[in-house]
Amino acid sequence: MSARAGAGSARRILRGLVLLPLFGLLAGCNLVVMQPSGDIAVQQRNLILASTGLMLLIIIPVIALTLLFAWRYRASNTQARHDPDWDHSTGLEVVIWTAPLMIIIALGALTWISTHTLDPFRPLSRIEPGKPIAAEVKPLEVQVVALDWKWLFFYPEYNVATVNELAAPVNRPISFKITAASVMNAFYVPALAGMIYAMPGMQTQLHAVINRAGEYEGLSSHYSGSGFSRMTFKFHGLDGDGFDQWVAKVKQQGSDLTRDAYLELERPSERVPVTYYATFADGLFGKILGMCAVPGKMCMHEMMAIDAKGGAGKESRENAERLQYDNRHTQRGDEAPGATTPASHRAPKSESPDSDKTHEGSGQGHPAPDQTNN
């Protein structure tokens, strides 16, 4: 009997030793969300920890008591008390209802406070704990545009722009204005702050600050097509004169981002290298936001002004073509790689003869009929 028990114990130990190396795989996990470098991300991390801790106050005792009751009142334990007529305990009812109620109240208060404190539209009040923002400090404004499939960043203060590279000085507030040129996307630098959606024709905001110098990962956290997985960028937190030197490098190595250059950049493409622009066309971000970067298109503010007056009457028929926007890529022969029927009136690419070829770029040189949904 004892020999069989010893053999079973040895097998359990052996299984444990076999599984032990698997824990080494956890060393590859990226815990940047739990070890951020920006004050907003730190506060969000603390919110996660506080919420998880409050919920564990219920979860851990419930799991422990479940295991205890299962062991204490097992069928083989003849010493356990058997009371088939028991149906109520006031003390137990008070504990069962009071503890969760207090947890819910605490979570509700935590949610209410953090919802207002961490509102992405709310300007920062501090750089880090115990260090308020000086009145004379001017936030760095960065205008963000999500393209297919790359990121375009404007720096109005310095009149420079970049593609797939973002930089900011350490301990200087950053004011992001975010939009998209085509489909909905999401701007996310885990070390800096939470993700913020980028939507065409709309502007979202994010206020954040980076507190430690370094190179951080930025990405799209909302699926947006075949190039989504490679829609990433580097975010550089620069201290000392590092940011000024970076701006000087952009001006020295960059070209001009004219309106025509932007329309070429806007074409769907993947694996786009870092690109610098020493200047950009005046009001270009506003045109992108207003969905009228393409010449001849009506801007959002023009359309809203017409609607505010009650409509354009007979002129509305002429305005209809100026408002068509979603089919501009197919009209130029830049059909999105994932487009299939009914939008493109053809079979999926997986059924085409060259479906085994890796698709790169925008599909230029392969014209397709107009989309059915203008």
> pLDDT for 252-308, tens place per residue?
999 999 999 999 999 888 889 999 999 999 999 999 998 888 887 878 777 777 777
pLDDT at 175: 96
Structure-model confidence comparison of residues 202 and 328, the more confident one: 202
pLDDT at 314 over 70: no
Whole-structure pTM value = 0.76
Q: How far is CA 108 from CA 58, 99, 102, 280, 346, in A?
A: 16, 14, 10, 46, 51
pLDDT at 42 over 50: yes
Mean of per-residue pLDDT scores for the chain:
81
Lowest-pLDDT range, 103-107, 188-192, 318-322? 318-322
Nearest C-alpha neighbor of 194 from the set 36, 53, 51: 36
Tokens at 18, concatenated: 């076999």
pLDDT at 349: 47
pLDDT at 269: 87
> pLDDT for 170-211, tens place per residue?
999 999 999 999 889 999 999 999 999 999 989 999 999 999
Rounded CA separation 22/86 (Å):
47
- Range of 43-47, 92-96, 359-363, 366-370 with top mean pLDDT: 43-47
pLDDT at 240: 84
Rounded CA separation 6/259 (Å):
79
Q: Could you tell me the pLDDT band of residue 2, with boundaries at 50, 70 and 90?
A: low
- Residue 141: count other Cβ atoms within 10 Å of its Cβ: 15
Structure-model confidence comparison of residues 167 and 99, the more confident one: 167
> pLDDT for 339-350, tens place per residue?
444 444 445 444
pLDDT at 339: 47
Lowest-pLDDT range, 143-152, 333-342, 350-359? 350-359
Lowest-pLDDT range, 193-197, 249-253, 353-357? 353-357
Hey, which residues does 237 pair with through a beta bridge? 168, 214
pLDDT at 317: 67
Rounded CA separation 68/214 (Å):
49
Q: How far is CA 162 from CA 155, 184, 191, 343, 374, in A?
A: 9, 21, 20, 32, 31
Task: Mark 72-88 as b/e (b = at least 16 C-beta within 10 Å).
Answer: eeeeeeeeeeeeeeeee
Structure-model confidence comparison of residues 367 and 271, the more confident one: 271
Q: How far is CA 85 from CA 68, 71, 75, 78, 90, in A?
A: 21, 21, 18, 18, 16
Sign of CA dihedral 76, 80, 85, 89: negative
Q: Could you tell me the pLDDT band of residue 92, with boundaries at 50, 70 and 90?
A: confident
pLDDT at 310: 74
